[in-house]
Amino acid sequence: MEERLLKHGMFSWNELMTTDGAGARKFYEQLLGWKFTEFPMEGMSYWVIKAGGDEVGGIMNIPPEPGGIPPHWGVYVTVDNVDASAKKVQELVGRIMVPPTDIPEVGRFCVFHDPQGAVLSLITYLKK
C-alpha cells in the first residue's frame, strides 16, 4: 500500500460486501478490467481487487452477522489509533456498529454511523 494512504485521515481502502461474490468479480472484471487474488479467511474467502497491478480494495460475501444488510460499497479511512477514534466517535454522538476488531496480518478496524446516519469504516494498519 502506498505510504500516503497510511496517514491519518486518508481514504485507504474500498470494499464491496455482496450476496454474490463470484458474480460481482465477473461483472467488475468485464467492466473495469480488475484482477483478483483470493485470500481465504475464517470460514470465507476475500478477494483483493487489483487495478493496474495495485491493490485497491476487496470483495467479500456478506457474513451472517450484519443480518440482512443489502450489498454495498464501503470505504476505510486510516487513523493512527482505531480504539481512540472509536471512543471519539461516541463522544461526538456517532454510533459504533462494529467495535474495534482485529484483522489478522492487516490491522484493526471499526465501523460507525455519523450523527446523520452515514456509515464509514476506520482502520489502523499494522506496521510492517
Four-CA torsion 102, 97, 65, 34, nearest 10 degrees: -70
pLDDT for 68: 76
pTM across the whole model = 0.88
Break the chain down into helix, strand, coil percent, rounded to 5. 20, 50, 30
pLDDT in tens, the chain (128 residues): 888 999 999 999 999 999 999 999 999 999 999 999 998 887 888 999 999 999 999 999 988 776 678 999 999 999 999 999 999 999 999 999 999 999 988 999 999 999 999 999 999 999 87
Q: Could you give all domains of the chain from N- to C-terminal order, each with its CATH number?
A: 3-125 (3.10.180.10)
pLDDT for 67: 67
